[in-house]
Amino acid sequence: MAKKPKKRNVNNCKQTYRNTARDRLHAFWQVFQKEDEVLVIINADPDALATALAVKKLLRYRVKSVTITHPNEIRRLNNQGMVHRLKIPLIRLKDVKVDNYSKKVMVDSQPDHLPSFEKIKIHAIIDHHPVSGDWDAEFVDIRPEYGATSSMAVEYLRAASMKPSVALATALFYGIKVDTQNFEQKSVLADGISFRYLFNIANRDLVRKFELTDLRRSELKYFNIALAALKYSKGRYYTHVGRVRSPDVLVIVADFLNHVGEIDWVFVSGIHGEKLVVIFRCDGYRKSAGKLANRIFGSLGSAGGHKGAARAEVPLKKMNLGDREFTSDSLKRFIMRHI
C-alpha cells in the first residue's frame, strides 16, 4: 500500500502521474477517515456529475457520508435529463454549510474556476483541465492530457475492483462522449480504453436520449419562424429568428439547416437580451467559420470559433439599427460584405 502522501501542491503533482492507478487510488483513499463527512464540489455538467458519482462510490464504505453540491443552475435540457433519469442526488452550494463537512473533494474543476470555490479548503482535486494554480491540497491528480475526468474516474474504479452500476456507467460513458465531443476533440488512448470498458455496461439508448433532449416543446415555434424567414443564395442559408428565450435554440436550428446536402454555409441569428447572436456553420473544408465570424463581428463584440462552427455576440446598440428591425435580409447583407 502506498505511503500516506504529504501535502502537495500542483508543482509536484506530476509525481502522481508516474504512479500506477492503484497507487493513485490508495493515495486518494488515505486522505479520508471513517468518521469523515465528505462534500464533493462540482460545476455541474455531464463530466463533473459522472465523476462525482464515481467518487461517491469509491468512498461509500470508507467515510460516514458523501454529498454532491454545485453552485450553478442546471439549465441545459440534456443535463437536466441526465440528473432526472439517473436520479443523481444534488444539493445547491448556497444551501450547504460547507464547514459542517470535514473533507472537501473537487472534481472536474479547480479552486479558482469560480468565485464561490475560492474560499473553500479543498482536500483532494481530480481534474483534466490545464493546471491553473498552486493548490495546497492533500491529494492532487490533474491530467490535462486527458479528454475527460470521467476517464480518470474509470481508472480509479477499476483499480478498486469496483464494477460500476448501469447508472454510473451510463453517466461516465456520457461524460466522456460530451467532453471529447465523440473523440473529435483532444483525447488520449486512456480515454478510449475507459470508453470501451463502459461500452457494454452503459445504457446507450439512454445516452442517445440525453443527447437528443435539447429542445423544449415551447421552442418548436422557432423552427416555423426560421423556415418562414429562410433566405437562400449561392449555397448559403440565412435566417433571423427574432427574440429567443435562449441562444441554444439558434444552435439547434443552425445544426438542423446544416444537414441539407447542397448547403455550404448556414447563418442563423436571433436576439437574446440586448445582444444580437449569430451562429455560423460550414463544412470546415477550405473554410473557417471562426475566422469569418471574427472578421465580420470581431470589432463589434465577441466572435470566434472553430473551422466548422462559430458564434458572435454583438450589443444591439453597436449595430446602428435605429428604428429598423433586424431581418434575414439584414443578416444576408451584413455577411455578404465580408464573405
Neighbours of 238 (CB within 10 A): 25
State residue 312 phi and psi, 5-degree precision: -135, 145
Q: Are 315 and 290 in contact (CB under 8 A)?
A: no
97's enclosing H/E stretch is: none
Which parts of the chain sit beneath pLDDT 50? Answer: 1-17
Q: Are 43 and 108 in contact (CB under 8 A)?
A: yes
Neighbours of 55 (CB within 10 A): 24
Give the pLDDT score at 17.
Answer: 46
Neighbours of 79 (CB within 10 A): 22
Give the pLDDT score at 34.
Answer: 97
Q: Kindly compute the dihedral angle of the four CA atoms of residues 15, 21, 24, 26, in this order, to the nearest 10 degrees.
A: -140
Give the pLDDT score at 153.
Answer: 98
Q: Are 50 and 169 in contact (CB under 8 A)?
A: no
How close are the terminal C-alpha atoms of the chain, in Å?
62
* C-alpha span between 185 and 263 (Å, rounded): 24
- Residues of the chain by 3-state class (helix, strand, coil), percent to 5: 40, 20, 40
Q: Are 47 and 178 in contact (CB under 8 A)?
A: yes
Give the pLDDT score at 14.
Answer: 41
Residue ranges and CATH numbers for the domains of the chain are: 14-212 (3.90.1640.10), 218-336 (3.10.310.40)
CA 44 to chain centroid, in Å, comes to 8
Give the pLDDT score at 79.
Answer: 93
* C-alpha span between 171 and 136 (Å, rounded): 30
Angle, vertex CA 284, rays to CA 269 and CA 314, nearest 5: 30
Give the pLDDT score at 280.
Answer: 96
Give the pLDDT score at 272.
Answer: 94
Mapped onto helix, strand or coil, the DSSP state of residue 87 is coil
pTM above 0.85, yes or no: no
Give the pLDDT score at 216.
Answer: 83
What DSSP character marks residue 145?
A: T
Neighbouring-strand partners of residue 70:
92
The closest of 85, 111, 192, 103 to 147, measured between CA atoms, is 192
Give the pLDDT score at 27.
Answer: 95
pLDDT (tens digit per residue) in 124-157? 999 999 988 888 899 999 999 999 999 999 999 9
Q: Are 139 and 164 in contact (CB under 8 A)?
A: no
Q: Name all contacts of 231-234 with Cβ < 8 Å and 24+ positions apart.
A: 231/328, 231/329, 231/331, 231/332, 233/332
